[in-house]
Amino acid sequence: MSVVPISYYLVLSAILFGLGAVAVVFKRNIITIFMGIELMLNAVNLAFVAFARAHGQLDGLVFVFFVIVVAAAEAAVGLAIVIMLTKNRQSLNVERDSLLKF
Amino acid sequence: MPILDHLWIIIALPLVGSAINGLLGKNWPKSVINTIAIGSVSLSFLAVLELIREFAQLPADQIPWVKDYFTWITAGSFRVDFSLQIDQLTIVMLLVVTFVSSLVHIYSTGYMAHEGGYYRFFAYLNLFVFFMLTLVMGANLLVMFVGWEGVGLCSYLLIGFWFLKQSAIAAGKKAFITTRLGDLAFTVGILLAFWTFGSLNFGDMFKSVSQMQADTMAHAGTITTIAILLFIGAIGKSAQLPLYVWLPDAMEGPTPVSALIHAATMVTAGVYMVARMNPVFSRAPIAMLVVAIVGALTAFYAATIGLLQTDIKKVLAYSTVSQLGYMFLGCGVGAYAAGVFHLMTHAFFKGLLFLAAGSVIHAMGGEQDMRNMGGLRKQIPITYWTMLIATLAIAGIPGFAGFFSKDEILDAAGSGPHKNLVLWLLGLIGAGLTSFYMFRLIFLTFFGEERFDHHKVHVHESPSNMTVPLMVLAFLSIFGGWVAAPHLVGGTDHFEAFLHPVFAAYAPENAGVEQNASLAGSAGASGEVASSPALELLHAILGPPVIVAVIGLALAWWFYIRKPEVPEKLERSMPGVYNLIYNKYWVDEIYNALFVAPLLFISRYVLWHLVDEGIIDGIVNGSASTARGMGGKLRELQSGNARSYATWVVLGAVGFAVLLLALVGASR
């Protein structure tokens, strides 16, 4: 059984990360931006797992667990903020929430 | 408790009084303030009396009696102690200062009774006494200088006492700034004295200067410079030419202040200083001549201005300048004792003149212009009689205090060891002018018809707390000079004999002989064959000073009583001279144009508008506006738009990654 080269994983990871970043930068819907962020986090997870397998070490896997925990916490806090924003403004458009400035 | 061991009590009492009244007395009743103010000064006076009793028993080798209290400054070989000293000259000054101060304090309780800031007035007055006593008791030049500057400060505070009055504020500033010019020279003189003598203690300095006599020529220039620098300080403080301009303006202050500070005590500080430094001055003949010339010129010059003044206090102010000139003339011709003697009698009669003038002003409800007075002698008899006595004293009528002292000065100028006939003549004419303008004041104020509206002015004699000091001073204006009376008939001048140790201890050898000779009693008619006492008395009483004084009196009587139209005729016949003198030789205007205006111009346009506003403010404002401009640009980055932040983050991350790759690629 032939081994899939690591570069395949890395390229997939980079594509996923790029898609996530593009979603964060260009989309206006806050839920979509959230999904973009999740996409970026999981792209990084993929890269970690690929390196861990390629080098036969556990460090990358440990990091993945941390990232998953952080992502869960981020989703909990972030979605709470989203709910509050939506309640107050009846909109998911981030363009309108630009009060935090000078 | 022997007061000689506790000299500090004398100066501490007024200071404590000042501190209590000034810090706490704002809402106290006047009786409490009076008790503290008068109490502290009169206790000080009593302490001086006790001091004199003890001083009389002191053996001669313990005089001057010096007390060191603490080391004030040490730096390398420079060491100054806070120390006080007592000798005969100090005794005289202490008596005059504490006694006249006490009287003026009592008088002020009447004069200032209806004024605001009552506690403030007495706090300043007490503070003044403290500084004046420090000045006369200081045992070195620096302690003396503390008092010297302190009395200047009190003078400033009291001239500007009515601080809502623009002219009073201006006069206070003028006095302070003008005397500061003299003080600058005084400070340099102190430094030079330390550099030359190695100490600022009077005793050490005088010992040092008397040992320098061996090589006189090497040090003559330095000693002359020191003497002249110190004398410039005295010119400022004692209102001599050309720095006298502040004293007439100082009359803006309350009248008791004019009496105490600007007539009796503070302005005589310069005379005291010259007398105190007599070993230095005696070894600087050029400086002595300068002192005598400035004194004689001032005596004459100020007397001419006094002739035409119409403000009763201004007449007295110019008279004070003139009399101070006599004191310096006396010191300048080597008759220090005569100068100090005139200082003392002047304190009595000029203090009295001012207090009486204050009483007149009080009676007239604030009117100071003599043209609006007249005929007051019936309504305010006590003021009239006391003021008349003081006028007779200042004019030098025989029997009154001023006669003895002024006669001694003119005598020394005319026939003493340093005689100078030109200066003598100036002083003599000045004496005639003095007599004229003083009797003019009396005649305009108390004689003739009443030139004021009876319905508006309610003329009334002053309360007893004002008239009693007048009477006490009147008594002294008559008898204060009699200590020197035996001198007239060839006997001892007790005043000069008392002060003799001070002026003889370090006198140059040649002058010492002359001083002893004059003590023997021949100075009254030196150069003439000694004759019987009666003849000498006649000679003294009918001497030139008395003759000119009587002429002055007669002229004043002729001008202002007999033929009141004469002054106007004279005024019309020579308008040039009249205007020149009436406008005080335009000295204020000249000083304004020469010094004040250029200084103001430089301050306003160069220092203020150019340097301060242009350069200094420019730098500060420029850096502020640069920071603000940059901040304005940078704050636009913070738009509040989450997506734009995200874009920056991504761009940053990409940029960082590119950089990292480039660096990794470069290191391969």
DSSP 8-state secondary structure symbol assigned to residue B488: G
Q: Which amino acid is at A41?
A: L
Nearest residue in A to B632, CA atom: A102
Give the separation between CA B22 and CA B158, rounded to whole angstroms.
14
As a whole number, mean pLDDT of residues B258-280 equals 90
- Domain-located, residue A84: yes
Q: How confident is the model at residue B515 (pLDDT cuts 50, 70, 90)?
A: very low
CA dihedral (B347, B348, B351, B357) positive or negative: negative
Looking at every residue in chain B, the average pLDDT score rounds to: 87
Give the separation between CA B439 and CA B294, rounded to whole angstroms.
26
Contact B641 A24 (CB under 8 A): no
As a whole number, mean pLDDT of residues B304-328 equals 91
pLDDT at A17 over 60: yes
Interface test with B, best of A22, A95, A101 (most B CBs within 10 A): A101
Model-wide pTM > 0.90 = no
Predicted confidence at residue B537, as pLDDT, reads 73
As a whole number, mean pLDDT of residues B225-234 equals 93
Determine the structural domain holding residue A17 and report its residue range: 6-94
Q: How confident is the model at residue B512 (pLDDT cuts 50, 70, 90)?
A: very low
- Domain-located, residue A83: yes
- Domain-located, residue A26: yes
**C-beta of residue B322 within 8 angstroms of C-beta of residue B434:** yes
As a whole number, mean pLDDT of residues B531-544 equals 72
Predicted confidence at residue B610, as pLDDT, reads 92
- CATH number of the domain to which A53 belongs: 1.10.287.3510
Contact A28 B650 (CB under 8 A): no
Looking at every residue in chain A, the average pLDDT score rounds to: 89
As a whole number, mean pLDDT of residues B626-647 equals 86
Bridge partners, residue B75, by sequence? B78
Residue-wise DSSP of A8-76: HHHHHHHHHHHHHHHHHHH--BHHHHHHHHHHHHHHHHHHHHHHHHHHT-SHHHHHHHHHHHHHHHHHH
Residue percentage of chain B with pLDDT more than 90:
46
Provide the total of helices (H) and of strands (E) in chain B, helices listed first.
Answer: 29, 2
Predicted confidence at residue B214, as pLDDT, reads 53
Tokens of B407: 């006669």
As a whole number, mean pLDDT of residues B115-140 equals 92
- Domain-located, residue A1: no
Predicted confidence at residue B448, as pLDDT, reads 81
Q: Which residues of B touch A14 (CB under 8 A)?
A: none
pLDDT at B79 over 70: yes
Q: How confident is the model at residue B416 (pLDDT cuts 50, 70, 90)?
A: confident
- A21 Cβ under 8 Å from any chain B Cβ: yes
Predicted confidence at residue B520, as pLDDT, reads 41
Dihedral through CA B199, CA B200, CA B206, CA B207, nearest 10?
-20
As a whole number, mean pLDDT of residues B544-560 equals 87
Q: Which residues of A touch B646 (CB under 8 A)?
A: 24-25, 33
- Domain-located, residue A102: no
Q: Count the domains in chain A.
A: 1
pLDDT at B115 over 50: yes
pLDDT at B523 over 80: no
Query: Phi first, then psi: what are they for B638, rounded to 5°?
Result: -90, 85
Predicted confidence at residue B176, as pLDDT, reads 92
pLDDT at B494 over 90: no
Predicted confidence at residue B509, as pLDDT, reads 66
As a whole number, mean pLDDT of residues B93-116 equals 90
Q: Which of residues 433-462 of B touch A (CB under 8 A)?
A: none
Nearest residue in B to A99, CA atom: B640
Q: Which residues of B touch A94 (CB under 8 A)?
A: 641-643
- Domain-located, residue A56: yes
Strands B65-75, B78-86: pairing kind: antiparallel
CB atoms within 10 A of CB A77: 10
CA distance A25 to chain B (A): 6
- Domain-located, residue A100: no
pLDDT at B513 over 70: no
Q: Which amino acid is at B652?
A: G
Q: Which residues of A touch B642 (CB under 8 A)?
A: 33, 94, 97-98
Nearest residue in B to A40, CA atom: B650
pLDDT at B414 over 90: no
- Residue A81: strand, helix, or coil: helix
Predicted confidence at residue A70, as pLDDT, reads 93
Give the separation between CA B139 and CA B201, rounded to whole angstroms.
6
- Domain-located, residue A27: yes
Q: How confident is the model at residue A97 (pLDDT cuts 50, 70, 90)?
A: confident
Between B284 and B655, residue with greater pLDDT: B655
Give the separation between CA B33 and CA B31, rounded to whole angstroms.
5
Predicted confidence at residue B457, as pLDDT, reads 77
pLDDT at B514 over 80: no
pLDDT at B524 over 70: no
Interface test with A, best of B630, B639, B643 (most A CBs within 10 A): B643
Nearest residue in B to A20, CA atom: B650
Give the separation between CA B515 and CA B507, rounded to whole angstroms.
9
Distances (CA, A) of B171 to A55, B395, B520: 97, 29, 47
Give the separation between CA B326 and CA B434, rounded to whole angstroms.
11
Q: Kind and range of the H or E element at B201? A: none
Least trusted range by pLDDT, from A14-23, B34-43, B588-597: B588-597
Tokens of A59: 């460090």
Give the separation between CA B302 and CA B291, rounded to whole angstroms.
16
- Residue B420: strand, helix, or coil: coil
